[in-house]
Amino acid sequence: MRISFSPQRRDDTLALEKSSGDRLRINGELFNFNPLAEGDMIPAGAVPCAWIVGPVERIAGEVRLTLILPHGPTPSQAVAFPEPVTVAEDGPIEVPRDPEPQPEEPANVEP
């Protein structure tokens, strides 16, 4: 499975998990792409998932799709211009993301 990303300024998060061949769990919702035959394409918008943008295709035996990648107001280069991820193993999928901002500690200023 090859997942490309379309970065978008959003406050929500994206959690992915691959299981049992070409089944993909997106934020808890399972999508089964196992029946997708070589050369077949599911058109953009036909999969009932707002995270999937563009078509889902099987090319050279590999399911290929593009997902929205949410990011904060100042994404790093790695998040603003993410590389596609190739996933062969079942399990959680690492999604490009920046670390959560740490709250600033108040300065110790004497009155």
Rounded-to-integer distance, Cα 108 and Cα 55, Å: 55
3-class SS letters over 15-71: CEEEECCCEEEECCEEEECCCCCCCCEECCCCCCCCCECCCEEEECCEEEEEEEEEE
Domain ranges of the chain: 2-93
What does the pLDDT profile of the chain (111 residues) look like in tens digits? 999 999 999 999 999 999 999 999 999 999 999 999 999 999 999 999 999 999 999 999 999 999 999 999 999 999 999 999 999 999 999 999 887 766 666 666 666
Complete DSSP assignment for 28-41: TEEEE-TT--TT-E
Instruction: Look up residue 20 and give its two tokens.
Output: 């049992």
